[in-house]
Structure 1
Amino acid sequence: MKANELDILIIPGYTGADGHHWQTRWESRLSTARRVEQAEWSKPVREDWVKRVVQAAEQAEKPIVLVAHSLGVPTALHALPHIRHKVKGAFLVAPPDVANPDIRPKHLMTFGPYPRERLPFPSVVIASRTDDFCDFAVAEELAKDWGSLFLDAGEAGHINSKSGHGPWPEGLMVFAQFLGKL
């Protein structure tokens, strides 16, 4: 499918995606992309965040592709029981380990546990070997459980603007290939 045949829901994580973040840049480049806005970016509440994804999906007029980063990943997955019939695919980047009590901030755990069943649509999980919010092996296991294509981003930190992934052209190329296979 082509991007203009889809509604692309950008689902940022904790504190949102700043102006340099790849999600913000993609949102401005992809005509059918729109951000799922949260009332409290720095005080995430699972039920509220999930509700916002469901509301955004209900407003979609085309099939949906989810583009989630960090805390946006469990948010998107917890919304699936309500929106799966509209979702054509998911592009999941830097999923945090919501089961690890040693990872800060602590509120990450309130978004767990992850659903572990196979996703009913194509998906990609991209993870870094140096992400402070998730051990690489945990991300790989999640991708396996979800039936997702797993891509190794190397030593890329949390794959955000802080780790130097502002435009992230490699990610956009992978995303374009992913859309082409839907």
Structure 2
Amino acid sequence: MARPYSSTDTLIVPGLNGSPVGHWQQVWLEDRPESTLVEQDDWNHPDLDSWKARLEQHLSRSEGAWIVAHSMGCLLTAQMADSPLRHRIRGALLVAPCDLKTAENQHPDVIRFGAMPCKHLPFPTLMIGSQNDPYMGEDVLERTAACWGSRLVNLGAVGHINPQSGFGRWPQGYTLLSHLQAYVEGRLASRVLDTDFVGAPAPQAIDLNGTTVGAS
């Protein structure tokens, strides 16, 4: 029998420059202090090898962890697909993943993150994106979700889902993670409305098993 979910095994994984005060990930840590920040030695110069090693350190101390990642933290999480500790990841909430080439163009000479990962992930993921993210166009968002095997929820025109686009405390994020956890643990029917996740004005039903259907 699977070990019941424990919130102490929730790892918060930021991206480039970390998550500053006011960022929803920092508020998440305040609201849920049992969650753990995966702290990097150098937030301003992402290095795949060192960042991945730090995440693996956290996973090595857990029987099973949930990941809540943002931006380049999503790419780091995707890079865990070939990690010997990938089985320790019970599921991941991937919020506003960035396109690596776009990030490198916007921040030249600071990112050493290899190639954009494009491999089906061996753990369940729910990807949250937007229509106008400056770090990942909507078409790339959809392709990335398909490549990683992620269920995708598009929040609309909400930018990079960070403080600049109005995301401080983000209660919907807690709901999204709870739905993912319940689905993974078999407590949630596979068909869930986007309105259950985000309260979208134009809901579309999604099937976490892989079938997308419309909602009237």
Q: TM-score, normalized by length of structure 2? A: 0.76
Cross-structure match for 1:79? 80
Partners in 2 of 1:56 and 1:21 — Cα distance? 22
Partners in 2 of 1:34 and 1:180 — Cα distance? 20
Aligned pairs, number: 181
Identity score, percent: 33
Partners in 1 of 2:149 and 2:110 — Cα distance? 23
Cross-structure match for 1:40? 42
Any stretches of 5+ residues in structure 1 without a counterpart?
none
Conserved 8 A contact 1:5-1:63: no
Shift of 1:68: 0.8
Q: Which has the higher contact order (CA 8 A, sep 6+)?
A: 1
Shift of 1:110: 3.1
Paired residue type of 1:56: H
Shift of 1:172: 2.1
Partners in 2 of 1:13 and 1:102 — Cα distance? 13
Any stretches of 5+ residues in structure 2 without a counterpart?
185-216
Paired residue type of 1:113: A
1:34-73 to 2 correspondences below 5 Å: 34-60=36-62, 62-73=63-74
1:115 aligns with 2:123: no
Cross-structure match for 1:16? 18
Structure 1 vs Structure 2 CA RMSD: 2.1
Per-residue displacement from partner, 1:36-77 (whole Å, max 9, x unpaired)? Answer: 0011111222211111111111122x3111111011111122
Conserved 8 A contact 2:46-2:111: no
Conserved 8 A contact 2:131-2:155: yes
Greater Cα radius of gyration, structure 1 or 2: 2
Shift of 1:17: 0.8
CA 1:83/1:171 → structure 2, altered by over 3 Å: closer, same or farther?
same
1:174 aligns with 2:176: yes
SS at match of 2:152: strand
